[in-house]
Amino acid sequence: MPVTDEHIITVERLVKVYKESSRSPVRALDGLSLNVRKGEIFGLLGRNGAGKTTLLRVLTTLVRPTSGTVTVCGHDVVREPFAVRQSICAVLQENAVEVFLSVLDNLVTYARFHSIPRPAIRPRAEAIMAQFGLEEYRHQKVIDLSGGMKRRVQVAKVFMVDKPVVFLDEATTGMDPVNKRATLDAIRDHARQGRTILLTTHILHEAEELCDRIAIIDSGRCIASGDLQVIKALAARAYDVTVTFEELRPGVIETAQRFPLLKMTSTHTTLTMSVKGNDASTFDLLNALARVAPILHFEVTSASLEDVFLELLENPRVVQPDGELPAP
């Protein structure tokens, strides 16, 4: 795997095995390799148990790898853990806020912990609260906030310090759409300032909107990595098809199920599907449905990241970083 000066995070053939005397060893990471470039938002996707959180815990020096090489900002996570910690900040799945302090005091305390000069702390806190939409909650104790608001305070807190690398594990968990939008906009703003942000999420449209590049991991291995266009090119061609009928007659769903579908949902008189295959497969599906029930309207669009994600998990293809297929 080529490593260049622009790579601020490098992971090469990373293996992590958890051993417990009461059961068989668990291989959480299995030879995983990827690169993250300086100043990008990098999304880490995968189903539950794929190894995402274990990878973050290795990158943040909380877990020691079994084998392989991992560097962050040029520092080896095993040989130079303190230097790595000085270069990063992280939001992991557990909430790490002082619930009996106010929102403002959480930000101020975190800044003091990181030795931010006192004259700079209050202006910085005001700017961060404005950016994350927390101004009206500044004097409220965190314990009185909703779960989504607690999460937003935790995410805002890590941006109080100017670390070059930020790790966000399911950063928008529990947030309503308004809170989530403010948080995503703030994350995007900080990336524009040159920070590198690596995030995990189960919300695929969020990753599609936010990330410069994406890696999909499964069973501890990277099965695809690259920008969105590269990821989509790795999967078999897929289309999103929406069909509205006069009525959803018996036989419509059964007819659709004869075709290679990644997913299908029905609402009243509308059928929404993701279809694997080429253009001809899609129009064969439409013709078959039209023979069962009159079609009022149909729409065909290119596949979403969610469709590609499902396709790659169903037909995994282990690839080199940046979407390059392995040499034959």
Statement to judge: residues 64 and 192 lie in one domain: yes
The structure tokens listed for 13 are: 């053939």
pLDDT tens, position by position, 125-144: 999 999 898 999 999 999 99
**Residues 63 and 136 both lie in one domain:** yes
pLDDT at 237 over 50: yes
- One domain for residues 203 and 279: no
Q: Is residue 315 part of a domain?
A: no
| CATH code where residue 132 lies | 3.40.50.300
Strands (E), the chain: 7-20, 23-37, 41-45, 67-72, 75-76, 88-91, 165-169, 196-200, 213-218, 221-226, 238-245, 261-267, 270-276, 295-302
Question: pLDDT tens digits, residue range 1-19?
Answer: 444 558 999 999 999 999 8
> Are both 273 and 201 inside the same structural domain?
no
Give the sheet arrangement for strand 196-200, strand by strand: 88-91, 165-169, 196-200, 41-45, 213-218, 221-226
Q: What average pLDDT score do residues 165-173 get?
A: 89
Q: What residues make up the domain containing 252?
A: 236-302
Q: How confident is the model at residue 236 (pLDDT cuts 50, 70, 90)?
A: low
Residue 170: per-residue pLDDT: 85
- Closest C-alpha among 105, 111, 160 to residue 132: 160
User: What band does 230 get if pLDDT is binned at 50, 70 and 90?
Assistant: confident
Q: Tokens standing for 48?
A: 């539950």
Same domain as 195, residue 264: no
Other Cβ atoms less than 10 A from the Cβ of 117: the count is 9
Q: Please tell me whether the overall predicted TM-score, pTM, comes out greater than 0.85 for this model.
A: no
Q: Is residue 317 part of a domain?
A: no
> Distance from first CA to last CA of the chain, Å, rounded?
16
Task: Report the distance separating Cα 58 and Cα 74, nearest Å.
Answer: 15
User: Position of tokens 């999460």?
Assistant: 151
| 3-class secondary structure per residue, 69-134 | EEEECCEECCCCHHHHHHHEEEECCCCCCCCCCEHHHHHHHHHHHCCCCHHHHHHHHHHHHHHCCC
Helices (H) and strands (E) in the chain, counts: 11, 14
Residues in the chain: 328
The structural domain count of the chain equals 2
* pLDDT tens for each residue of 72-129: 999 999 999 999 999 999 988 666 788 899 999 999 999 999 889 999 999 999 999 9
The verdict on residue 325 lying in a domain is no
Contacts of residue 266, defined as CB under 8 A and 6 or more positions apart, other chains included, come to: 248, 253, 272
- Same domain, yes or no, for 137 and 249? no
In a domain, 310, yes or no: no
pLDDT at position 322 over 50: no
Residues 196-227 have pLDDT tens digits of 999 998 888 888 888 999 999 998 999 888 88
Mean predicted lDDT score pLDDT of the chain? 86
